[in-house]
A and B are shown apart, each in its own frame.
Chain A
């Protein structure tokens, strides 16, 4: 492009086709439904409703939630960044395998993680039984804040790991080489060049992690740590306290907004990090030398705690009945339901974001940006808030809509389409608008050009988005509990019901099945990551 108007040419201010705007607008409007509901509901709260949300308690819950978010983000960074660096940048033995294993805990829903950790680390749990011969009679209890922190770190550090790994691969090695030539040692380069370059990835990952913590219900509830989500759930469960639940949900949304603003300020866009394609050379591989052993010890202990331990507990429970609750088989019907609901949601979730993504990519404008943000906004909403809104609307519409599988899928799509939008957008950004123009110049109509050229090129991002939606939907608990059709059990609800009855061993096979369903997708996602790495060099 030798043109002074280059910037303008690459983002031509052309009028977007009306159907595209309407479609994107419709999806964005759906995304705005939960917030609108919460506001209406909270405003209509009467004296009795407001009495159930005292200021002291709200402050306590906000502080609890924020403390947990900060703690989990810090822990996930401490675990995820070194792992990523070891896997991407060093000659760590078996680094590809470590990389795959490190992303695997992504498939363990936080409430299953909590369940397994509780079982393993209880004062007289499995770990204590293993250590009994060594004279360990009782372990300190891991519940409350530290328990929730541990369980949520397990479920979220893979986000940090994956984004940091992608970020590390995307860094242009010449910057680091320049720093070396200017006299900086390896450590100085890491802190002065590498880490700042990772800032956008880390900010994005921190955002994802803190939003996950904010909307988590299962882990905090099992660990007995009071947060805004448990507060909302308590009020939902309490008699006729939906107004109070809505008020707390709005507080939660406000907290999420604050976090998004903080993350944006810290230097991240609200979307998933995208490494520049074709970063050219790969950075040099750092020989670990004698440090190999501490590095391996680090990897082993992280994955021992976050992967082997929980899975081990589940396997142990599956083969060995609990003395108090006995054991049960695998819930195949629930597994089928989970796969069906998550599968349809993944397909729909990938499709409905296309208008907004295409609009933002091809016809950037204030409206396109607004619609994109609105469509991304449910990512800051806790599942229970989405569910409350849909219960309200569903009940008013009634009939075939309310308590239908359709409504549950609608909830999944609403909650998780931000993931597919971010992923689709990232891959669209890598598609040159020239390609679409080339297709137009060769006689294709706009829709034809999009279908035959743009979408095939963005397919990895679209598929990754669908996979993320599937992964999230198959683990989803709070909205599922409130919205599933009568008699429609998913693996998540079965596991949850079992834990409510203390029947951990009974639900362990179902939990393993859930992990097994989700695992191939994570493998695919990290394989894609590896493939992109391969394509880049």
Chain B
């Protein structure tokens, strides 16, 4: 993949004794939508702020659109980077109207037309004279987007843009944002701790932990081929089954799986996503349903198989009663080896 928009080379950032970002490497290509996904405190927001220029790295280099913005002996101030930023709390200027907020970063002679254009895009033309506190959360976010887009940046950074919005609204807003960004061809980097958010929006996801980027890839790659057991569990519910490797195969209660080069005699683990486990009521089955959680469009079952507890996700149209014996069938799918 290319690095035409962002290239981070071994970027490090410390706050006192805490290393927030630890020799991170990342590439983003022009026009991509990339999500920085990770748990709280993994350094993803700091990484974003390093790109925007709100933090100076303690080591490594940050390149934006082919220009070295920070590195040894180099520093470009945030206002020179032409990077749009949408803050977690939107950071709208409370003393300015919607139109004034949007026009803030636009040169005076283009301001009127550009503001009108963007308000049209985000659908807030009628609210142009309102102040931020007179808007709903969703409208505020659209103002924040419009303001970031107004100076026509090639790169827009979004910091947890939906963390302050209630879950019902989130999906709508997500769709809205995607609709706004895609046609403009803007490169977007999004910070989130919500995997669904990352999956639904991003072309590519960079998974972060403890200040480093563990894995980069498409949502599918991340989901089905996680680089580690931790990654597997972070991006979705996971059954991790361990067993000895015999003849290039891992032996598990569910059967044998290719060990992908894991050496013989050692133990290895494989990842089985819950949706791959089909349950069939069977009085003589080897497993027993020990818990059942109805979730609307699907149901989570916990089944005990040879002393190992497994999670299975089934459509809610199938009903398997609690306590019944079942046999387990593995649906066709990838079962990768994980550390």
Contacts and interface: CB of A to CB of B under 8 A. Distances in A.
Please tell me whether chains A and B touch each other in their complex, using a CB distance cut-off of 8 A: yes
Interface of A: 1-5, 8-9, 12-14, 432, 434-435, 437-446, 449, 452-453, 456-457
A442 B105 contact: yes
A3 B77 CA distance: 23
B233 to A, nearest CB: 18
Given A2-B45, A440-B77, A432 B89 contact: yes
Interface residues of B, number: 42
Contact of B40 (A4, A12, A434, A442): A4
B94 A441 contact: no
Contact of B54 (A4, A13, A437): A437
A4 B77 contact: no
Q: Among A4, A8, A437, A438, find the residue whose CB has the most chain B CB atoms closer than 10 A.
A: A438
A434 B45 CA distance: 13
A8 B88 contact: no
Contacts of B43: 3-5
Nearest to A11: B15
A443 B56 contact: no
B46 A9 contact: yes
A441 B89 contact: no
B253 to A, nearest CB: 37
Contacts of A438: 85, 87, 91-93, 147
Contact of B79 (A3, A434, A445): A445
Interface of B is mostly: loop
Contacts of A440: 53-54, 77-79
Contacts of B85: 437-438, 441
B95 A443 contact: no
Nearest to B94: A457
A80 to B, nearest CB: 32
Contacts of B77: 440, 445-446
Contacts of B54: 12, 437, 440-441
Interface string B192-230: 010000000000000000000000000000000000000
Among B41, B78, B95, the most chain A Cβ lie within 10 Å of the Cβ of: B78
Given A437-B87, A443-B79, 13 more contacts: A5-B18, A5-B20, A5-B45, A9-B49, A432-B91, A434-B87, A434-B89, A441-B53, A441-B83, A441-B148, A443-B105, A445-B79, A453-B93
Interface in B24-81: 40-46, 49, 52-56, 77-79, 81
Nearest to B83: A441
A446 B55 CA distance: 14
Contacts of B45: 1-3, 5, 9
B91 A435 contact: yes
Contacts of A439: 93, 104
A437 B78 CA distance: 8
A439 to B, nearest CB: 7
B84 interface: yes
A212 B222 CA distance: 67
Choose among B52, B79, B94, B150 the residue with the greatest number of A CB atoms under 10 Å from its CB: B79
> Which interface residue of A5, A443, A445 has the most chain B CB atoms within 10 A?
A5
A13 B16 CA distance: 9
Contacts of A452: 104
B288 interface: no
B52 A441 contact: yes
Nearest to B81: A441
